[in-house]
Amino acid sequence: MSMILAVVTPANDVLATWQHIRFGKKLQKTELTAPPLFIIGHWRSGTTLLHELLMLDPRLVCPDTYQCFAPCHFLVSGWLFRNFGRWLLPNKRPMDNVAAGWDRPQEDEFALMNLGLPSPYRRIAFPRNEIPDLDYLDLRQIPPAERASWLQGLERFLKAITVAQAGRVVLKSPTHTGRIGLLSEHFPGAKFLHITRDPRSLFPSTLKMWRSLDATQGLQKPTPEPDKQYVLSCFEKMYRAFHRDRDSVPKENLLDIRYEDLVAEPEQTLRRVYQELDLGDFEPLEAPLKGWIEQHHRGYQVNQHALLPADEAAIHSRWAEYFDRYGYPQGDSPASPAVSE
């Protein structure tokens, strides 16, 4: 791994310089086509499914995996890796059955981290170290100068995405959940689509996610078990900030939906999203969505997760507000719809 990094790092610098020379002035002049749409919610709440479905609309654009992993130079290097580097990625993500590939929608948090901006995702490389940058789950805890630098870095990345393909940019990163207040201020008119899921499914699925990422992406030998306190604390930090700031976002720009509703009635749920967030005519999404439903929605087996009694007691105690606010009665068993997480 160290040898690979030794080769890749200077190559990234050369390619980044090439992109700056070729596109620097254009990037400075570029304006976003429309205020971005942020898909937010805790890890494993269905944000990936929602992202994939929205990207069936040809009017919307999103960062793909290559753009997020090479944010400094994808405008000049994308053709090479998309054509000759497909073997570098697995066919499916390590934590579930969702397809992977350079052209698949991806979390922009990876792009921010790869641009050198602070991000809690740096823990993926060193899972045994002290968790870095947790304050960046709530930007109001960051000094103003550092906050401005972070927001400017995100905006530059969105401009590069717009140069690659014009359209409303749809971003999906659970880490944005606690950042909505400042994101709304920095991007006037931005839309926020918040998805929730039964915490009794969220908790074990998130543990499995971190366990998979630690084993496949970390540069250290992972711990035998993921840190449950980390999962509990991240949830609390994100949602404390989200609930504090959500009323500062215009009501017409923020919508809550439930994962359980999305997988049971995807077309009906997305029609509601388009109507309430004023995303335009639903017709361009209708036909490809029906095709997706026919191909993927029937017969798919979801990963099953066991929840220990002690863990269930912990989330009932520490995540009680989420249970109550989003309508998940404590004591009932979570549903397990037959569709991708």
Segment 125-171, tens digit of pLDDT: 888 888 899 999 999 999 999 999 999 999 999 999 999 999 999 99
Three-state DSSP state, 198: coil
Q: Which tens digits make up the pLDDT trace of 206-261? A: 999 998 888 888 888 887 777 899 999 999 999 999 999 999 999 999 999 999 99
Mean pLDDT of the chain: 88
pLDDT at 60 over 80: yes
- What is the rounded CA–CA span in Å between residue 302 and residue 101? 20
Compute the Cα dihedral for 95, 100, 104, 107 and give only its sign: positive
- What is the rounded CA–CA span in Å between residue 26 and residue 147? 25
User: Which residue shows structure tokens 């401009």?
Assistant: 159
- What is the rounded CA–CA span in Å between residue 65 and residue 45? 20
Burial of 324 (0-12, 13-18, 19+ CB in 10 A): exposed
> Which domains are delineated in the chain?
34-325 (3.40.50.300)
Compute the Cα dihedral for 50, 56, 57, 61 and give only its sign: positive
- pLDDT attached to residue 297: 65
Closest by alpha carbon to 122, among 58, 218, 251, 42? Answer: 218
- What is the rounded CA–CA span in Å between residue 192 and residue 156? 20
pLDDT band at 341; cut points 50, 70, 90:
very low
Which stretch of DSSP H or E encloses residue 208?
helix 199-217
- What is the rounded CA–CA span in Å between residue 13 and residue 16? 5
- pLDDT attached to residue 8: 65
Please say whether the beta carbons of 47 and 40 come within 8 A: yes
- pLDDT attached to residue 337: 40
The Cβ-side half-sphere exposure at 210, using a 13 Å CA radius, reads 26
- pLDDT attached to residue 338: 36
pLDDT at 333 over 90: no
pLDDT band at 339; cut points 50, 70, 90:
very low
Strands ordered across the beta sheet of 191-196: 60-61, 168-172, 37-40, 191-196, 254-258
Angle among Cα 148, 150, 153 to the nearest 5 degrees reads 110
Closest by alpha carbon to 213, among 195, 231, 226, 200? Answer: 226
User: Which residue shows structure tokens 């037959």?
Assistant: 338
pLDDT at 179 over 80: yes
Q: Which tens digits make up the pLDDT trace of 65-114? A: 999 999 999 999 877 766 655 545 555 555 455 655 778 899 999 999 99
- pLDDT attached to residue 219: 83
- pLDDT attached to residue 340: 39
**Largest interatomic CA distance in the chain:** 59
Closest by alpha carbon to 158, among 68, 257, 88? Answer: 68
pLDDT at 47 over 90: yes
Closest by alpha carbon to 71, among 31, 107, 26, 43? Answer: 107
Burial of 49 (0-12, 13-18, 19+ CB in 10 A): buried
Please say whether the beta carbons of 177 and 242 come within 8 A: yes
pLDDT at 30 over 60: yes
- pLDDT attached to residue 90: 57
Q: What is the 3-state secondary structure (H, E, C) of 253-322?
A: HEEEEEHHHHHHCHHHHHHHHHHHCCCCCCHHHHHHHHHHHHHHCCCCCCCCCCCCHHHHHHHHHHCHHH
